[in-house]
Structure 1
């Protein structure tokens, strides 16, 4: 309550009868404590941390004492506010895909992404079918790279300039190891599991938070 006394002042009452406070700086209104956990201001950061640690949806909802429906909406909202990282020019990247499914195991979908070889960060990704049109959403962002390493998938030959494209032995070691890390942390991507994504938008949101 020390922060409330210093930065906030009383401004009426909520519908539940609790005292309402207004911030002197941002002019937003809030209350001192919340009976429903979904309204806690720090909740988004906690959801992001649990998602990165691989906690499943129902597990996060149970730990935070909120409904799964609210949690799903919040995860999608958090992902929309994440800005894409900067793609640095004149360095080396590795590109690969992870096969998974959405809705049912017959409906295959691919997670294509690019890994910065220098700091092992994911600079761009796409949840797509494995076609030239959809894979280009990743490769088109790497036009200023010094070298791009991929496996021998034939689509890459037409998508990446031969001057910077490489398929050398062990050229994709870092991203292949990263694939294992992703499958370990995100259960919906594990090869043999009962966990799966019902919709592609949810898979995309979780990956965006994780990356």
Structure 2
């Protein structure tokens, strides 16, 4: 590659990264309603930096509309579930549907917690949507984010765009 072509390539990468920063910071995940009957919660992993550095996305969706209500990035831990629940605390939620992961059982209110794979079909479908839509989330890939901030902002933008598009369908 000649010097001029390399210089243009570097400018393009800078432009892409700047766009990710701009769009990601402008995107907000805001639930449309104050009350939800059934909310499904699940976790999904991806890589940042290299395949030894897993990052977990925990997020909640409205079962009826598929709207993503809140998301939290971090480790797969009880602390991350608490952080996600804190983002949902202003909403009135009748029931939380999750899989059998013990952190969910420890954090979510027992009287409102329904667990089992048959209650999380919608969110599992959204996990598949994420993995097919965003190459960096594919399980067998050489494409992954090098920095956590870009990974976070791309996911945040994807969630925002998905919520906008689903509201028009």
Instruction: Please state which band the TM-score falls in when normalised by the shorter chain.
Output: 0.7 to 0.9
More helix per residue: 2
Cα distance per residue 1:53-86 (max 9 Å; x no partner): xxxxxxxx98xxx611121122112111123312
Match of 1:71 in 2: 16
Work out which of the residue numbers 44, 49, 56 in structure 2 matches 1:110: 56
Structure index of larger Rg: 1
Match of 1:92 in 2: 38
Could you say what the CA RMSD is over the residues aligned between the two structures, in angstroms? 1.8
The higher-RCO structure (CA 8 Å, 6+ apart) is 2
Work out which of the residue numbers 106, 115, 118 in structure 2 matches 1:170: 118
Normalised TM-score (structure 1): 0.66
Q: Where do 5+ consecutive residues of structure 1 fail to align?
A: 1-60
Match of 2:28 in 1: 83
Kept after mapping to 1: 8 A contact 2:95/2:113: yes
* Corresponding residue SS for 1:133: helix
Moved over 4 A (4+): none
Kept after mapping to 2: 8 A contact 1:115/1:123: yes
More strand per residue: 2
* Length, aligned pairs only: 148
Cα distance per residue 1:6-33 (max 9 Å; x no partner): xxxxxxxxxxxxxxxxxxxxxxxxxxxx
Work out which of the residue numbers 107, 121, 137 in structure 1 matches 2:67: 121
